[in-house]
């Protein structure tokens, strides 16, 4: 199954190699990996999607956390979250065939961001299935896709949950509200207690 991890990592040379090398060592293929700045200077946020056995989540998260540059890891697969991906799709289209593509883009709430005599570029955000839906429709419609660039999945947990990075970095003045703390602790405790669900091997 697909697992999704959010890792907050130090923004330093070599960190990406360490993370990628860990998946290589476990012989797990990374489906997508997006990296960018987080809410803190010097901290990057990675969203890693990988294909692994249903029980592998705990071990991957724990192994990620063993890397010294990793400040926090969240296995968001089981939690309520928002997932988005951005794609740029360049389609062959001339002035005669353009309007059809415009209509499709409209249906998918995508935008046309570039227009050239023989091509146009569509920008679309959404969950993967939506992007794949647009690609499929374009293909079925006979529109020739020239290029696709996709960011890969990025996710954020829903609700009041905030990343623990501020706390982890001991930033003065930032404190986790008590009820949140309790909630997180009980979540972490259930990680441990529900060994059956987190076992790596059968």
Partner 1 sequence: MAAAKKHDHDRNPPAHTTRLTGSEILWATLEGEGVTTVFGYPGGAILPAYDALRKFPIRHVLVRHEQGAAHMADGYARASGKVGVCVATSGPGATNLVTGIATAMLDSVPMVCITGQVSSKVLGTDAFQEVDITGITLPITKHNFVATRPEDVAPMIREAFLVARSGRPGPVLVDITKDAQQASAEFDFAAAAPKPHRPHPMLKTESASILQAAELIRNAKKPVILAGHGIIQSNAGAQVITLAERMRIPVASTLLGLGAFPASHPLSLGMMGMHGEAWVNHAIQSSDLLIACGMRFDDRVTGTLATYAPNAKKIHIEVDPAEINKNVKVDVALIGDLKEALEALLPHLAPRDAKQESAWLREIEAGKGEVAVRDIRNLPDSGHLYAAHVMHDLWRATEGKAIVVTDVGQHQMWEAQYYKHDEPRTLITSGGLGTMGFALPAAIGAKIACPDKEVWVVAGDGGFQMTAAELATAAQEHLDLNIAIVNNGYLGMVRQWQEFFYDKNYESTPLLSPDFVKLADAHGIRGTAVSSRSQVLPAVTEARAHKGPYLINFMVEKEDSVYPMIPAGSALHEMIRRPKKSPLVETAQDK
Residue from 103, 106, 114, 185 touching partner 1 (CB under 8 A): that is: 185
Q: Return the half-sphere exposure (C-beta side, CA atoms, 13 A cut-off) of residue 106.
A: 6
- Stretch near partner 1 under the rule CB under 8 A, chosen from 88-96, 106-114, 175-183, 189-197: 189-197
38 lines the binding site for partner 1 (CB under 8 A): no
- Under the binding rule (CB under 8 A), the answer on residue 140 touching partner 1 is no
Identify which range of 17-25, 103-111, 123-131, 138-146 contacts partner 1 by CB under 8 A: 17-25
Q: φ and ψ at 60, to 5 degrees?
A: -65, -45
Can you spell out the DSSP letters for 156-187?
A: EE-TT---THHHHTT-TT----HHHHHHHHHH
Centre a 10 Å sphere on the Cβ of residue 137 and count the other Cβ atoms it contains.
13
Pairing of strands 154-157, 81-92: antiparallel
Binding of partner 1 at residue 96 (CB under 8 A)? Answer: no
Task: Compute how many other C-beta atoms are within 10 angstroms of the C-beta atom of residue 158.
Answer: 11
By beta-carbon proximity to partner 1, the closer residue of 17 and 139 is 17
Q: Which residues of the chain form contacts with partner 1 (CB under 8 A)?
A: 14, 17-18, 21, 25, 55, 58-59, 61-63, 65-69, 71-72, 164, 168-170, 185, 188-189, 191-193, 195-196, 198-201
């Amino acid at each position: 199954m697909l697992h999704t991890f959010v890792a907050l990592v130090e923004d330093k040379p070599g960190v990406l190699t360490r993370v990628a090398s860990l998946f290589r060592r476990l012989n797990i293929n990374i489906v997508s990996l997006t990296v960018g700045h987080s809410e803190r200077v010097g901290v990057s946020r990675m969203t890693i999607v990988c294909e692994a056995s249903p029980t592998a989540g705990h071990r991957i998260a724990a192994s990620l956390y063993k890397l010294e540059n990793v400040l926090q890891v969240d296995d968001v697969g089981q939690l309520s979250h928002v997932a988005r991906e951005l794609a740029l799709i360049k389609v062959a289209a001339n002035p005669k065939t353009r309007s059809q593509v415009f209509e499709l883009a409209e249906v998918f709430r995508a935008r046309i961001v570039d227009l050239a005599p023989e091509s146009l570029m569509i920008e679309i955000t959404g969950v993967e299935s939506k992007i794949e839906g647009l690609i499929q429709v374009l293909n079925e419609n006979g529109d020739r896709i020239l290029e696709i660039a996709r960011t890969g999945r990025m996710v954020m947990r829903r609700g009041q949950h905030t990343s623990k990075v501020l706390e982890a970095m001991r930033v003065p003045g930032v404190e986790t509200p008590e009820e949140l703390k309790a909630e997180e602790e009980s979540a972490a405790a259930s990680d441990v207690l529900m060994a059956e669900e987190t076992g790596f091997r059968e």
